[in-house]
Amino acid sequence: MKFSSSVLGVLGASVLLSSVGALELDINSPDSIKKAAKVVAGGLRKWYTGDRPGDVPGNLPDPYYWWECGAMFNAFIDYWYYTGDDQYNDITEQAMIHQAGTSSAFEPKNQTSTLGNDDQAFWGMAAMSAAENKFPDPPEGQASWLTSAQGVFNRQASRWNEPPESCGGGLKWQIFSFNDGYNYKNTISNGCFFNIAARLYKYTGNQTYAEWAARTFDWERSVGLMNKEYHFFDGTDSLKNCSDVNGIQWSYNAGVHMAGAAAMWNRTQSDVWRNHLEGIIKGADVFFFGDAKEIMFEVACERNGMCDVDQRSFKAYLARFMGYTTIVAPWTRDILLPKLQASAKAAAAQCTAGADKSTCGLRWTNNGQNDGSFGVGEQMAAMEVMQNLLTTQVSGPVGEGTGGTSKSDPAAGGDAVPEAIVYSDITSGDKAGAGFLTTVVLIIIMGGAWWMVS
Ligand SMILES: *[C@@H]1O[C@H](CO)[C@@H](O)[C@H](O)[C@H]1NC(C)=O
Ligand SMILES: *[C@@H]1O[C@H](CO)[C@@H](O)[C@H](O)[C@H]1NC(C)=O
Ligand SMILES: *[C@@H]1O[C@H](CO)[C@@H](O)[C@H](O)[C@H]1NC(C)=O
Ligand SMILES: *[C@@H]1O[C@H](CO)[C@@H](O)[C@H](O)[C@H]1NC(C)=O
């Protein structure tokens, strides 16, 4: 997870080849937004090497974990949808098909050491976006995008409260019992499962998905992973029957739940989901800086310089799902759009680094001053916050009966047993990688109380 010099080298070499001016963004002009998003997307694409001969489609170079590559392709799927620019569609399709695998559920054996439920779900959400946006279908004989999302849902539903049962339900962070963190029930794993279930319900109308979405949401509340103010906390220990909660708050948890609640409201139009969605939107104010609560920031780690490689991407998902929410629950637009606009303006103002003078940093709250931090996460977050200003330009996610064409297979992934690499085959490097992540989480658990918001 350390920022390696070889990665710095990749950017150093690539920025030298570009010669664009500083990034301009007029938030009221779709053309200007598209132009800005195009520049930032180009900067993101330069990090990806999986399409090169001998490399593996769907992997980013170190220090990026596999999940973030799925998150990045979700960003590119939305990029195409919002801007119409299809230049990344081929690498996206290649990576998605390669990683979906024969089980159509994104459980590749190669990822044994890093495959948590949350990691898998970031690919599953990408497949869901592809189905909703009518991203060009995979070739005949390959699982449809919808099927791959259903595959992820089915695999995860089968792991709900799996033995040893605890906490009255929930998904564990890890899939394999031998990976560190197996006893942790974290909010992002459950939140992504909720997100996928809710969107599958919106897409198909199948009540089973609605039941799972509600079950997950209610369970998270019952153990305190979210509180009355709809603040979402990091996770809880199943060995203690989820009796204490790590109170650190991340923007992506607010994001995945916001979109799930919006999808549930869209299909049911019930006051229950309207209230939840209103609460989540209000609760997410904690991720907006200053008195005006307009510019997005990663409150737990951004201003103290402690965001790790994963965390530097989290704002991307809050921005993505705020945009989604404004489409499927249009009454949220007046609250959310100004925040996206102010954040996008602030983000663009600091995309001034590198030889191309348009590489984006992490902090958008620095009055246009670039903070010198850069990478996939920083770039993807800036891209998402810009492209999600274009939600008025599209008709919104389709479903069965409303233009959706992705083939449904409610049994997808059902019988697959995730294949693991035998533990002794995992190199010490891989073990160190996964272990390091857990160490960070544990440090945060112990040191995170300062950021407990109740
Ligand atoms: C797994 O790793 C092998 C060896 O690097 C590679 O050829 C294959 O494409 C990988 N599979 C996936 C799904 O990433
Ligand atoms: C464990 O937690 C669940 C959910 O909060 C609760 O229903 C159950 O009674 C608890 N079990 C024990 C032994 O405390
Ligand atoms: C539900 O979402 C669709 C887009 O997926 C949107 O067109 C529709 O207006 C939304 N329904 C309501 C009641 O807002
Ligand atoms: C609804 O989804 C469930 C769970 O995946 C599945 O078992 C069932 O067959 C689906 N029903 C229909 C009508 O597709």
- pLDDT (tens digit, 0 to 9) for every residue of the chain, 454 residues total? 233 334 444 444 444 433 444 699 999 999 999 999 999 999 999 999 999 999 999 999 999 999 999 999 999 999 999 999 999 999 999 999 999 998 899 999 999 999 999 999 999 999 999 999 999 999 999 999 999 999 999 999 999 999 899 999 999 999 999 999 999 999 999 999 999 999 999 999 999 999 999 999 999 999 999 999 999 999 999 999 999 999 999 999 999 999 999 999 999 999 999 999 999 999 999 999 988 999 999 999 999 999 999 999 999 999 999 999 999 999 999 999 999 999 999 999 999 999 889 999 999 999 999 999 999 999 999 999 999 999 999 999 999 999 999 999 999 998 766 777 765 544 444 443 433 444 445 444 444 433 433 3
Atom of ligand 2 nearest to the CA of 223: 5
Mutate to test the pocket of ligand 3, among 266, 269, 325, 326 (most ligand atoms within 8 A of CB): 266
Mutate to test the pocket of ligand 4, among 208, 211, 215, 407 (most ligand atoms within 8 A of CB): 208
Q: Please give the distance, rounded to the nearest whole angstrom, from the Cα atom of residue 244 to the centre of ligand 2.
A: 12
Going by C-alpha positions, the residue among 148, 275, 240 that lies closest to residue 199 is 148
Can you give the pLDDT at residue 195? Answer: 99
Q: Please give the distance, rounded to the nearest whole angstrom, from the Cα atom of residue 408 to the centre of ligand 4.
A: 10
Tell me if 124 CB under 6 Å of ligand 1: no
Can you give the pLDDT at residue 414? Answer: 82
Can you give the pLDDT at residue 420? Answer: 74
Among the bound ligands, the one closest to the CA of 94: 1
Distance (Å, whole) CA 259 – CA 165: 28
CA-nearest residue for atom 7, ligand 4, is 410
Q: Please give the distance, rounded to the nearest whole angstrom, from the Cα atom of residue 121 to the centre of ligand 4.
A: 20
Atom of ligand 4 nearest to the CA of 411: 5
Report domain extents, the chain: 5-405+430-447
Q: Please give the distance, rounded to the nearest whole angstrom, from the Cα atom of residue 383 to the centre of ligand 2.
A: 43
Tell me if 325 CB under 6 Å of ligand 3: no
Tell me if 263 CB under 6 Å of ligand 3: no
Among the bound ligands, the one closest to the CA of 263: 3
Distance (Å, whole) CA 179 – CA 84: 41
**Which protein residues touch ligand 2 with a CB less than 6 Å away?**
167-168, 222-223, 241
How many other C-beta atoms can be found within 10 angstroms of the C-beta atom of residue 392?
A: 11
Can you give the pLDDT at residue 254? Answer: 98
Among the bound ligands, the one closest to the CA of 211: 4
Can you give the pLDDT at residue 416? Answer: 67
CA-nearest residue for atom 7, ligand 3, is 396
Mutate to test the pocket of ligand 3, among 328, 331, 391, 398 (most ligand atoms within 8 A of CB): 328
How many other C-beta atoms can be found within 10 angstroms of the C-beta atom of residue 421?
A: 15
Going by C-alpha positions, the residue among 129, 293, 119 that lies closest to residue 193 is 119
Q: Do 21 and 348 touch, CB atoms closer than 8 A? A: no
pTM for the whole thing?
0.91
- Break the chain down into helix, strand, coil percent, rounded to 5: 55, 5, 40
Atom of ligand 1 nearest to the CA of 101: 13
Atom of ligand 2 nearest to the CA of 166: 1
| DSSP output for 139-198 | PTTSPPHHHHHHHHHHHHHTTTTPSSP-TTS---SBSSTTSTTTTEEEHHHHHHHHHHHH
Can you give the pLDDT at residue 422? Answer: 62
CA-nearest residue for atom 3, ligand 3, is 328
Among the bound ligands, the one closest to the CA of 133: 3
CA-nearest residue for atom 5, ligand 2, is 167
Among the bound ligands, the one closest to the CA of 53: 1
Atom of ligand 3 nearest to the CA of 397: 5
Kindly state the DSSP code that residue 234 receives in the 8-state scheme: -
**Which protein residues touch ligand 4 with a CB less than 6 Å away?**
154, 206, 208, 410
For β-strands 184-186 and 295-296, DSSP reports them as unpaired
What letters, b where the CB count within 10 A reaches 16 and e where it falls short, cover 105-120?
A: bbbbeebbbbbbbbbb
Question: Which of the following CATH numbers is that of domain 5-405+430-447: 1.10.3720.10, 1.50.10.20, 3.40.630.40, 1.10.287.130?
Answer: 1.50.10.20
Among the bound ligands, the one closest to the CA of 409: 4
Long-range contacts of 203-207 (CB under 8 A, 24+ apart): 203/128, 203/131, 203/132, 203/146, 203/397, 203/398, 203/399, 203/400, 203/404, 204/146, 204/399, 204/400, 204/408, 205/267, 205/399, 205/400, 205/401, 206/410
Tell me if 98 CB under 6 Å of ligand 1: yes
Q: Do 421 and 351 touch, CB atoms closer than 8 A? A: no
Can you give the pLDDT at residue 452? Answer: 38
Distance (Å, whole) CA 42 – CA 273: 38
